[in-house]
Amino acid sequence: MLKLLLPLVLSSSFLVPAQASASSWTLPGVGGVGATVESADGRLRLKVSSKSADVLSVADLGVITSAGDLSKDLALTAESHRTLRTSYRMTTGKQRDRSVYQEESRLTFGNSSGSFALVVRVSDDGVAFRYELPGPVTVQRETGGFELAPDATSWLQPYNAQHENEHAQATASTAPTGQFGHPALFRAGGNYALLAESGLDGRYSGARLTHTQGSSRYDVQLADAAVASSGALATAWRTMIVGDLATVTGSTLVDDLADPARFSDTSWVQPGLSSWSWLAENSSPRDFERQKDYVDAAALRGLKYVLVDEGWSPVWLPELTRYARARGVEVLVWFHWTNLESQAQRDEWLPKLVAWGIKGVKVDFMESDTQGRYRWYDAILADTAKYRLMINFHGSTVPHGLARTWPHLMTMEGVRGEENGLNATRNTILPFTRNVIGSMDYTPTRFATPSNPKPQTTNAHELALPVVYESGWTHIVSSPEELASQPEGSRFLTQLPTSWDETRLIAGAPGSEAVIARRSGARWFVGGIRSGGAGTVAVPLSFLGGSGRWLVEVVSDSGSTLSRTSSVRRASEQLAIGVAERGGFALQACPYTAGLTTCDKPYRQAPGTTVLVDASSTEVAPGGTVQVQGIFVARTGGPVRDLVVAPEVPAGWTLVSRSPVRKNRLDDGESVSGSWTLRLGPAGARGDVELVVAGNYTAPDGRRIHSAGAVAIFAEPLPPRGSTYVSDLPWTNETNGYGRPQQRDHSHGGDNPPGTLSIAGQTFAKGVGSHAASSLTTWLGGACTRFVADVGVDDGTTTGEGSVTFVVVGDGRTLASTPVIRAGDSATHLDLDVTGIKRLTLATTDGADGKNSDHADWGGTALTCAP
């Protein structure tokens, strides 16, 4: 990270009276953006201007606390000013390197109920303010309301907790009564104003805007009824990005106000394009073989990642990860947020993902702006950073500058994205609203085919979206077959970065058109989209700069396929690009030299390699050893260089023989082998364990590739003793049909919190709560003789909705199986002989009518074992 420059602190006598009255002060401005604070009858107002034109104001500044009303009868008690100059670097966003110049004014006001500091920062792209209060304090609400010109055009999104409604255009006064989410866009004359939040985390509460039709005022409503702090409290920044449309679109104000990065080594943080199957084929994440097709499609086109969404299984995900990494593709994996809700869950899952080779997680369905949920964001961001796992928040709030504070945050949803259908009008609003404030997980680029036409947008429109929209991870939603149907589109995606040195708005207007240029190194990429009829888009090339010549390649619609044209141009020229109805285009430009025919950088697939692994035994007891042999084979596409072959030692195991096998070069058809002894320690993982041998090497294109194989063995746990319960034992395997994992001594709850295990009014202090279809296995080791349980559908399920069958399996043999049990049915009692059983499995099925509401309870689950 770049080292921050210390702020320059100036004298406190900075305020310049706007008039002779001492109740009005002009704050220091920056680059044509100005701010004025006024006090009338003890009430405060902040006025914001751009290029000497009033844009908006904030009336009745202040807060209501449990101690009283801090919005009236206010008197100034102190003032200070400082100039802030900072520099920082982002891993994502519209501009890697940021230089910030802000003027900060701090005005302290008080009345008989207490005091607060109004902190205002002015920069060349807007104004922000927040309240700072001495503690302890409980804030009940903020009183400041944003006031716009009544006829100011508005683009507002009705609020919901996942921020996924459509934007609607109206005026500031005619917009309907209701709640609206951040960011909110207004236009008054030649100036725009985008209202947002920044510096928001678990120390405060999220907010939305409230409005009454007929008024042009928008008030702030917190998600929580109260925010308490035992010490001093700083609210979130109320952020007003102002200026022309190019200034608003290019603003970095939300990031500029956020806390600096919590860590400096970002070498492991890698933005990139990803192949993603869920939208094209909702059931495909459950299909190991189909996921391999998506890996192959990513490898063929140089996409850095494949995202495996809801439905993946821990049974095959490690193997898929090895398959992908051997082909130069890294794996990202989806989680319902409740699977990572607690510290214990994160402590279990995150190191496991790292051991599998997973590079990042997509966490979904948070859907809340409360302080409690923001505290969870803080916790999981810290934990994933600890394990060097990148993260994407889906079903989430919108960005508040978190990507600056946590550089491994690649993107956030908080948008009505392509999974909600294709919509050309929506697409031309989002560049000027939601995407201004941070990376946006829109999941774009669904190509049409003759068998699957998509008339809402064209293929060129879809191809332009990963340029028009900024996202550190961009998940491409076309299937392998759809990608193959558009070779020019696939070729363009192979070249496309997702992190940028520079971004510029070329042309556009919310709801009708957006043309955005982004630079990575010496190359420029431009995406253009429109919502209306066919026509010509004018693209001035002045953004290229300089007096030299540029090779410009344009991909546009040619009927149902994409075609590419090339020309040599100068920055003084202008392109006229024809686009279809609801169409678009994608452009790549690079400095021209004689004979240059394409801007494409060469891409070469990873060599074909195989790692064969064998073990001396299929089972190992605690303290025992197993010998592992690995053979690395270079098959095609080599040579491979700087090869290191060694086992990946699971946590709690030790490597008895430690030397890796090294080879400077292997040509196609050559191989190298090694043998190592591993010992299972007392803290080693138990159950089904994969012992992995990996070869790490340098490919011909310079990439470092990881190729591995594995052998499965069973690490025996210690058998249970005496009287115990399945919920108190370690589980060697566990899968669940929905949401969070199976719950020990609580019901599952579905989307609701876990509760008491209850079947037809009968409650259980011990047991397991699951959601069909589910399975768990625990090790008895032949030490137990009896298993007793009462099973049924949890009372938290509406009568008649849930339908479950329960199955008990011992060492692969079915010991008991119930008929379909429904919500409201009495518990079915199980009393089984488990003498000699080593592995006991408790499974449920969905009753053959789908998994909805199938909340299954295993009440008791008592075991009688040898003392």
Structural domain contains residue 192? yes
Select from 32, 440, 472, 438 the least CA-distant residue to 258. Answer: 438
Structural domain contains residue 616? yes
* pLDDT value of residue 468: 98
* pLDDT value of residue 2: 32
Structural domain contains residue 403? no
Number of independent structural domains in the chain:
3
CATH assignment at residue 165: 2.70.98.10
Q: Please, which residues bridge with residue 95 across strands?
A: none
Select from 674, 783, 769, 653 the least CA-distant residue to 724. Answer: 783
CATH assignment at residue 633: 2.60.40.10
Residues in CB range of 93: below 8 A, 6 or more apart: 252, 255, 403, 438, 439, 470, 472, 499, 500
Last residue of a domain, one of 715, 742, 776: 715
Residue entry with tokens 């003084």: 572
Structural domain contains residue 498? no
Long-range contacts from 2-5, C-beta under 8 angstroms, 24+ separation: 2/87, 2/88, 2/89, 2/97, 3/87, 4/86, 4/87, 4/88, 4/260, 5/85, 5/86, 5/87
* pLDDT value of residue 23: 87
Pairing of strands 653-655, 671-680: antiparallel
Structural domain contains residue 348? no
Q: What is the pLDDT of residues 378-413, one digit of tens each?
A: 999 999 999 999 999 999 999 999 999 999 999 999
Same-domain pairing of 91 and 75: yes
| C-alpha span between 611 and 322 (Å, rounded) | 10
Q: How far is CA 435 from the centre of its chain?
A: 14
Same-domain pairing of 212 and 137: yes
| C-alpha span between 537 and 246 (Å, rounded) | 17
Q: Please, which residues bridge with residue 85 across strands?
A: 101
| C-alpha span between 573 and 58 (Å, rounded) | 44
Q: What is the pLDDT of residues 310-323, one digit of tens each?
A: 999 998 999 999 99
Same-domain pairing of 685 and 739: no
State residue 160 phi and psi, 5-degree precision.
Answer: -140, 165
Same-domain pairing of 37 and 61: yes
Last residue of a domain, one of 205, 240, 256: 256
* pLDDT value of residue 5: 33
**What is this structure's pTM?**
0.89
Q: Give catalytic residues, as residue numbers.
A: 364, 419
Same-domain pairing of 690 and 731: no
Residues in the chain: 867
Select from 407, 359, 386, 380 the least CA-distant residue to 1. Answer: 407
Structural domain contains residue 273? no
Helix boundaries (H) for 268-406: 288-301, 317-325, 343-356, 371-386, 402-405
**3-state DSSP assignment of residue 248:** helix
Provide the domain limits for residue 244.
8-256
Same-domain pairing of 672 and 736: no
DSSP strands (E only) in 561-624 = 561-570, 574-579, 584-591, 608-615, 619-620
Structural domain contains residue 252? yes
**3-state DSSP assignment of residue 302:** coil
* pLDDT value of residue 800: 66
| C-alpha span between 100 and 86 (Å, rounded) | 5
* pLDDT value of residue 685: 79
Last residue of a domain, one of 226, 241, 256: 256
Same-domain pairing of 75 and 222: yes
Same-domain pairing of 25 and 101: yes
Same-domain pairing of 100 and 183: yes
* Residue numbers of the chain with a pLDDT score lower than 70: 1-22, 799-800
Output helix, strand, coil percentages for the chain, rounded to the nearest 5.
15, 45, 40
CATH assignment at residue 795: 2.60.120.1060
Same-domain pairing of 755 and 808: yes
* pLDDT value of residue 601: 96
Q: Provide the Cα torsion 388, 392, 395, 399; round to 10°.
A: 110
Same-domain pairing of 66 and 127: yes
| C-alpha span between 553 and 141 (Å, rounded) | 53
Same-domain pairing of 700 and 804: no
| C-alpha span between 530 and 670 (Å, rounded) | 54
| C-alpha span between 175 and 187 (Å, rounded) | 14
Maximum pairwise Cα distance, the chain: 95
Structural domain contains residue 278? no
Select from 279, 272, 392 the least CA-distant residue to 334. Answer: 392
